[in-house]
Amino acid sequence: MGNENFEPATTAITAGRDDSGSLAPSLTPATTWSSSGLEESHRQATAIHETKFYSRYANPTVEAFEHAIAELENTQAALAFASGMGAVSSVVLALCATGDHIVAQRNCYAGTLAFLNGPCARLGIEVTFVDGRNASEFAAAVRPGKTMLVMAESPSNPHIDLVDLAALGAIKGPITVVDSTLATPLGQRPHDHGVSIVLHSATKGIAGHNDATIGVIAGDAELIGEIWGYSILHGATASPFDAMNALRGVRTLDARLTRQCESAQTLAEWLSEQKNVTAVHYPGLKSHPQHALAKKQMNYFGSVLSFEIAGGKPAATKLLSALRLIRPAVTLGGTETLISHSASSTHNSVDADTKAKTGLTDSLLRLSVGLEACVDIQRDLATALAQSN
């Protein structure tokens, strides 16, 4: 959509502007716009994504955010939702019916997993789960004519596994979806690898300040238009206020990511050397089993890492209580460094078998690296690690 050939960091500054000259996103809380009469009303009611009709159909503030994401993801269109889960559920229900089949990654966000295992199963939409780390498993599980969607997440939350985006994008037949939340639009561009739909919980790194709950998808205009047609009935509509904050977040995304990734790399390397840390998962580490793939498909390795602590849950419990700067909390990608014990919090609902298959052990801690001085984060971890055993 961009008419200039800028670097993505620059596009993050230029994208999603209106022609008012305002240097901040304009907040338009209006639910409804008046029309000139019957014919204009009819046109508005039947147009796709008409911004001056009724806000559930489209809203100018939300549209500015959508334009920015489409430009950053190098897609024709984008569509925002009330949350990341609003995006996940709307995509699935827009594209699948009873009797259809989905191939999905087992090692993914627990909300997505719960949606596929719960409402989808209840509606008779069958799901085959695969290990996203093995590129061939997605394609092998596709049933021609029956599989509507192939759903992946890269990097995965919380084990930081990667999916080979080019292999996923090469799958023909079903629509492919990548939840790219942990990468953000500046970290990787799945659509460039042939993936049909890029999905984000923009609540995380995109908005980046823990003040907006919002989701977004990006892809070809025709497909996004089809999902829009369902979305106005589903009603998981993005709030203009959240879209304003998310677009504000886009402006500083590159600066935040640069700093966060630098700190995450330093911390990942340092954690790898600590005696009561048994494993560290971060794609920027040479020891990450998919480091070569990460270098190939990612521009930034991300602000999130996870590590395993010796001594399991009792040690993790002690560590969380001993921290003074890093806060125990469940979101990621924001300005504060946060830590979470995935198995008992975000991923508490995951069944034991899936937890075992995806490395969701009681020792696993997810660290979302914020913007504090790295040395302070490291000192806080060092003190708490010393007290955890």
Ligand X SMILES: *Cc1c(COP(=O)(O)O)cnc(C)c1O
Q: Is 277 helix (H, G, I), strand (E, B) or coil?
A: strand
Cβ(305)–Cβ(155) below 8 Å:
no
Cα gap 195→170, rounded to integer Å: 8
Which listed residue (15, 68, 72, 85) binds ligand X by CB under 6 A?
85
Please report the sign of the dihedral spanned by the C-alpha atoms of residue 135, residue 368, residue 114, residue 347: positive
Q: Is 53 in the site for ligand X (CB under 6 A)?
A: no
Least distance between ligand X and beta carbon 333 (Å): 8
For residue 247, which of 219, 198, 211, 298 has the smallest C-alpha distance?
211
Q: Is 306 in the site for ligand X (CB under 6 A)?
A: no
Least distance between ligand X and beta carbon 110 (Å): 9
Least distance between ligand X and beta carbon 100 (Å): 22
Closer Cβ to ligand X, 52 or 366, answer by number: 366
Least distance between ligand X and beta carbon 227 (Å): 16
Q: Is 83 in the site for ligand X (CB under 6 A)?
A: yes
Closer Cβ to ligand X, 109 or 282, answer by number: 109
Cα gap 245→235, rounded to integer Å: 20
DSSP sequence for 203-243: TTTTT-SS----EEEEE-HHHHHHHHHHHHHH--BPPHHHH
Find how far residue 112's CA is from the centre of its chain. 11
Question: Among residue numbers 214 through 253, which ones bind ligand X (CB under 6 A)?
Answer: 215
Q: Is 359 in the site for ligand X (CB under 6 A)?
A: no
Which listed residue (11, 28, 90, 203) binds ligand X by CB under 6 A?
203
Question: Among residue numbers 321 through 340, which ones bind ligand X (CB under 6 A)?
Answer: none
Least distance between ligand X and beta carbon 156 (Å): 7
Q: Is 380 in the site for ligand X (CB under 6 A)?
A: no
Cα gap 87→199, rounded to integer Å: 7
Interface with ligand X: number of residues (CB under 6 A): 16
Cα gap 149→104, rounded to integer Å: 8
Binding mask 124-163 for ligand X (x = CB under 6 A): -----------------------------x---x------
Q: Is 204 in the site for ligand X (CB under 6 A)?
A: yes
Sequence-distant (6+) residues with CB within 8 A of 110 are 346, 347, 348, 349, 350
Cβ(175)–Cβ(148) below 8 Å:
yes
Cα gap 305→155, rounded to integer Å: 10
Which listed residue (28, 196, 201, 363) binds ligand X by CB under 6 A?
201
Candidate ranges 116-124, 126-134, 199-207, 290-298; the one touching ligand X (CB under 6 A): 199-207
Instruction: Tell me how many degrees the CA angle 178-15-83 measures, rounded to the nearest 5.
Output: 45
Closer Cβ to ligand X, 182 or 277, answer by number: 182
Cβ(106)–Cβ(130) below 8 Å:
yes
Q: Is 181 in the site for ligand X (CB under 6 A)?
A: yes
Binding mask 9-48 for ligand X (x = CB under 6 A): ----------------------------------------
Give residues in contact with ligand X (CB under 6 A).
83-85, 109, 111-112, 153, 157, 179, 181-182, 201, 203-204, 213, 215
